[in-house]
Structure 1
Amino acid sequence: MIRFIISIALLLVSLLAIFKAPEYYLWMLAILVTEFPWIFMLLSLASLLSGFYVDKYQLAGSIAGLVALILFTTPIVRAYSVASNLKQELSHAFSPDSENSQTPFSFWKQFSPTKKVAFQTLPYNNNLMLDYYPSSISGNRPCVVVVHGGSWSSGDSKQLPELNSYLATIGYHVASINYRLAPGYKNPAPVEDLLEAISYLKKHSAALHIDTGNFVLLGRSAGAQIALLTAYAHKQPGLKAVIDFYGPADMVWGYSAPASPLVMDSRKVMENYLGGTYRQVPQQYADSSPIEFVNSHSLPTLILHGDNDVLVSPEHSTRLNLKLQQSGIKHFLLKLPWATHGFDYNLHGPGGQLSTYAVERFLKVVTQ
């Protein structure tokens, strides 16, 4: 009976590998299910093998365990499917890369250790700080400026540091910044902070060994909105490109199509950041929408989004992708069919591997 209950529980959890999470805590579980699938595969396999030692509910438990095992493998299977065309698609979008022999996804890489690079914390504007990860390659190097997520009201520069360390090991400086948070501060305060951080990095470029002609912005979720808006609406000398991890690109549309209240009160989040409802401050919503500032002179853009994102709809990225296409801007949208918001939590998971590969290829092209 215990085995049967465990098998049914695993089956229910495995549905998160296919369907969108209906509730906040299930969304967090969905990240684990889709980005650490091997753990759940082992649990399902153990449940199946234990059937040799019980009789009651053996068949039902075995069927449930087998279906769960199959569903838990789907992120890996689908990652291989996406990876099979990713090199060619990136080459078509940007330029061929004959030197890159790295595979976009490997099952065994899921078990790789995570490298950490020591960083220093620097004050760049009043009480605001940034974490600076120096490149492992000497000389003046490009700099990636990272903007954290957190619904504009939480999070900090320590968020998801694994990619920062990885980029530093392959030759990029990384500056992960803090910015003023809502509801105490509203748009455009975070954009102003990001611009100030760029100015600080340029001013201290000699000491930090930064190539001031090669800056790239990278933002996640709310941070992606800040990064995109800065890149499109505030042209900066030396800023070469922007990377958007599951960001809200169309704030007007986003307010009209909120997330499930069981997951997040997205309208309240936007109201805290923009100072009111859309009816009260419509211009704020337009002015904070990166998509409104895309034109034929916009920067090259890499967009990464999961189709099962329940916090920021993938429609944001679909709309941005179309606008960039209509404007003739070099760009690429990496869609991950199984992935949810925060899929890059595990750098070695299916979503983490594919997004890191795309980021690395993109950076290599835009910082040449």
Structure 2
Amino acid sequence: MVKLSLTIILFLISLLTILPAPAFYLWLLAIAADEFSWVFIAVLLVVILVSFKPSAYQTPTLIVSFIALFIFASPIARAYFISKKIRNDMASAFGDHSVASQKPFSYPGLFKSNISIPYSTVSYKKTDKGNLTMDFYPSAIPGVKPCVIVVHGGSWKSGDSKQLPELNSVLASKGYHVAAINYRLAPSYQNPAPVEDVRDALAFLKEKAAAWHIDSGNFILLGRSAGAQIALLAGFTLKDPEVKGVIDFYGPADMVWGYSIPSNPLIMDSRKVMEDYLGGSYNTHPQNFEKSSPLLYVSNQSPPTLLIHGENDVLVAYEHSKRLNAKLSTNGVKHYLLTLPWATHAFDYNLNGPGGQLSTYAVMYFLKSVTN
């Protein structure tokens, strides 16, 4: 009975790889089910081996175990099939570029350890409530190199530059400077304050270009979630010719539409989050929602854009990226949408997982294409 109960629990967890999580803590579990699925597979294999010994409930235990095993393996299988076409798809979008010694996805890559590049924290802007800082990861490859500015997530009201630092180290190891910035947070500050902070971080890095060996003509903005909205808005409105591209990890691109379709309240009160950032509801401040919608600022002059989103995202609907993808297409902007059918919000918590590997490859390919 214990083995059967365990397999039923594992089966229910496996469903999070194909269905949206219905509550906050199940969303966190969904990240584990999607991106650490090999752990659950290993447990199930042990259960299956033990269950071949005749015992009570042997048949139902084996049946449920094999079904759960198949479902847990699905993100890995789907990542494999996406990896077979991602290079050609990105070549069509951005031109043919080689990403040296990097595969889009590999099974051994699931078990790799992360690297860590030392960084320094420096102030880049004074505000009425103290200094804003950035974590600067110098390129591990000598020479004048492009710089990626990373804008963290956190519903515009939390989070900091230390969030999900693993990709920063990967980029630095591949020859890019990385500046992970802090910005002014809601509700004390509202849009466009964070975009202004990105602008000032750009100006600061340009001043430091000679001393820090930054290629001042090659900046890329990368944001996650709320940070992606900020990065997109900055990329589309600042019109800085030195910003060569924008990378959007599961960001809200249409704030007007997003307010009309709130998230599951058991996950997040998305309307309250947006109201804190924009000064009130859409009914009372419609212009604020419009001014904060990156989608409305897309033009044929917008920089190349990489969108990365999971279809099972329960915090920021995948529809945001579909809408932005269509608008970029209409305006003839170079872009690519990497869709991960199984993935939820913050899937890149594990860079070695199926979604983490594919997204890292896409980022590296994009950087190679826009900084050459």
Bin the TM-score by the shorter chain.
over 0.9
Residue 81 of structure 1, CA deviation: 1.1
The CA distance in 2 between the partners of 1:11 and 1:48, in whole Å, is 13
Q: 2:234 aligns with which of 230, 234, 239?
A: 230
Matched ranges for 1:1-368 at <5 A: 1-53=1-53, 55-98=55-98, 100=100, 102-126=102-126, 127-368=131-372
Task: State the one-letter code of the partner of 1:318.
Answer: K
The CA distance in 2 between the partners of 1:219 and 1:98, in whole Å, is 24
The CA distance in 1 between the partners of 2:167 and 2:66, in whole Å, is 35
User: Alignment partner of 1:59: what SS?
Assistant: helix
User: Alignment partner of 1:231: what SS?
Assistant: helix
User: Alignment partner of 1:218: what SS?
Assistant: strand
User: Alignment partner of 1:340: what SS?
Assistant: coil
The CA distance in 2 between the partners of 1:113 and 1:99, in whole Å, is 20
Residue 185 of structure 1, CA deviation: 1.0
The CA distance in 2 between the partners of 1:16 and 1:229, in whole Å, is 32
Structure 1 residues 30 and 214: alpha-carbon distance in aligned structure 2, compared to 1, 3 A threshold: same
RMSD: 1.0
User: Alignment partner of 2:344: what SS?
Assistant: coil
What per-residue deviation string (whole Å, max 9, x for no partner) do you get for residues 54-104 of structure 1? 511111111111111111000000001111110110111111125645321
Structure 1 residues 99 and 320: alpha-carbon distance in aligned structure 2, compared to 1, 3 A threshold: closer
Structure 1 residues 100 and 268: alpha-carbon distance in aligned structure 2, compared to 1, 3 A threshold: same
What per-residue deviation string (whole Å, max 9, x for no partner) do you get for residues 118-166 of structure 1? 0000000121110000001112110000000000011000000010000
Q: Identity, % of aligned pairs?
A: 58
Question: Does structure 1 conserve the Cα–Cα contact (< 8 Å) formed by 2:98 and 2:365?
Answer: no
What per-residue deviation string (whole Å, max 9, x for no partner) do you get for residues 285-327 of structure 1? 0000000100111100000000000000010000000000000
The CA distance in 2 between the partners of 1:105 and 1:56, in whole Å, is 41
Question: Does structure 1 conserve the Cα–Cα contact (< 8 Å) formed by 2:99 and 2:364?
Answer: no
Query: Structure 1 stretches of 5 or more lacking a match?
Result: none
Task: State the one-letter code of the partner of 2:219.
Answer: F
The CA distance in 2 between the partners of 1:99 and 1:56, in whole Å, is 53
Residue 233 of structure 1, CA deviation: 0.9
Question: Does structure 1 conserve the Cα–Cα contact (< 8 Å) formed by 2:168 and 2:178?
Answer: yes
The CA distance in 2 between the partners of 1:55 and 1:98, in whole Å, is 55
The CA distance in 1 between the partners of 2:99 and 2:3, in whole Å, is 50
Task: State the one-letter code of the partner of 2:365.
Answer: R
User: Alignment partner of 1:309: what SS?
Assistant: coil
User: Alignment partner of 1:277: what SS?
Assistant: coil
What per-residue deviation string (whole Å, max 9, x for no partner) do you get for residues 219-277 of structure 1? 00000000000000111131111000000000000000111111111001000100100
The CA distance in 1 between the partners of 2:292 and 2:99, in whole Å, is 39
The CA distance in 2 between the partners of 1:29 and 1:135, in whole Å, is 34
